[in-house]
Structures are given as C-alpha cells and as structure tokens.
C-alpha cells in the first residue's frame, strides 16, 4: 500500500485542474485530477492518505453532494472546497460538516498550499 499522500483535484474547469495539479507537483505533492465527482468516486484510492480539492458547483453530483455522500458512507476524507462564489452560510455549513477550508477563486497559491498541508496533517497552524 502506498503511504505517500495524494491530493485529488475535482473540478469541471480544465484550466483549474491543470493549474492546481501543476502547482502541487511543483511543491512535491502528488496529485491527480478528475473532471467530476462521479469520476473521482470511480477512480480514487481510499487506502492512501489523501485530501480532496473539491469544486462546490459542478454538473451532475456537486461538491456539496459528494461531501454528503462520503459522510453518509462513513468515509472520513479531508476536503478543501474551492468555489467561484461563496453563497451566504455555505462556508459555515461546509466547515461544520468537516471541510478543512473553503477558498474562493481566484485564491492565492500560499492559501491553497496551507490548506492542503493542513488537510494532509503537515501543517500544525491550520489554514487560517
């Protein structure tokens, strides 16, 4: 079983997937991208330490619905949500359900890396 953590980037926007996975790899963080929540569910390895960078709004199963499904199945998966717009009350709802952070696009590289490292247990200070 591989023990190195992996970050799954789940976003329907190809440019976001490419830029975020490229950024993570430049910092030595393994990442894999999926264009939908359904593709992620079909392809991720739950036996590895992981974190999911998850878009809130996507066609099909939304990021919020994916979080709810994982929770209902008893899967404890650290999630960092990313979104183009933050609706009233959404951030507090997602955080109360266990999300590590909720970042609004465009976010700063440092903000993203801090949240990912927190999700992977590599940062003791938290995402801020």
Domain boundaries, the chain: 6-119
Least confident of 22-26, 83-87, 113-117: 83-87
Instruction: Give me the pLDDT at residue 127, please.
Output: 43
Per-residue pLDDT band for 14 (boundaries 50, 70, 90) equals: very high
DSSP collapsed to 3 states, the chain:
CCCCCEEEEECCCHHHHHHHHHHHHHCCCEEEEECCHHHHHHHCCCCCCEEEEEECCCCCCCHHHHHHHHHHCCCCCCEEEEECCCCCCHHHHHHHCCCCEEEECCCCHHHHHHHHHHHCCCCCCCCC
Q: How far is CA 77 from the centre of its chain?
A: 9
Task: Please tell me the pTM assigned to this model.
Answer: 0.90
At residue 53 the predicted structure's pLDDT band, cuts being 50, 70 and 90, is very high
Q: d(Cα 47, Cα 115) in Å, to the nearest integer?
A: 21
pLDDT at 43 over 90: yes
Say how far apart CA 67 and CA 30 lie, in whole Å: 22
**Homologous superfamily, domain 6-119:** Response regulator (3.40.50.2300)
Confidence of residue 4 (pLDDT cuts 50, 70, 90): confident
């Amino acid at each position: 079983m591989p023990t190195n953590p992996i970050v799954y980037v789940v976003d329907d926007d190809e440019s976001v997937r490419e830029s975020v996975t490229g950024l993570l790899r430049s910092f030595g963080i393994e990442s894999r991208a999926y264009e939908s929540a359904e593709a992620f569910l079909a392809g991720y390895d739950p036996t590895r330490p992981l974190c999911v960078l998850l878009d809130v709004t996507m066609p099909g199963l939304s990021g919020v619905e994916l979080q709810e499904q994982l929770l209902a199945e008893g899967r404890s998966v650290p999630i960092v949500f990313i979104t183009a717009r933050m609706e009233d009350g959404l951030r507090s709802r997602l955080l109360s359900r266990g999300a590590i952070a909720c970042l609004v696009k465009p976010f700063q590289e440092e903000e993203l890396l801090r949240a990912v490292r927190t999700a992977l247990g590599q940062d003791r200070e938290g995402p801020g």
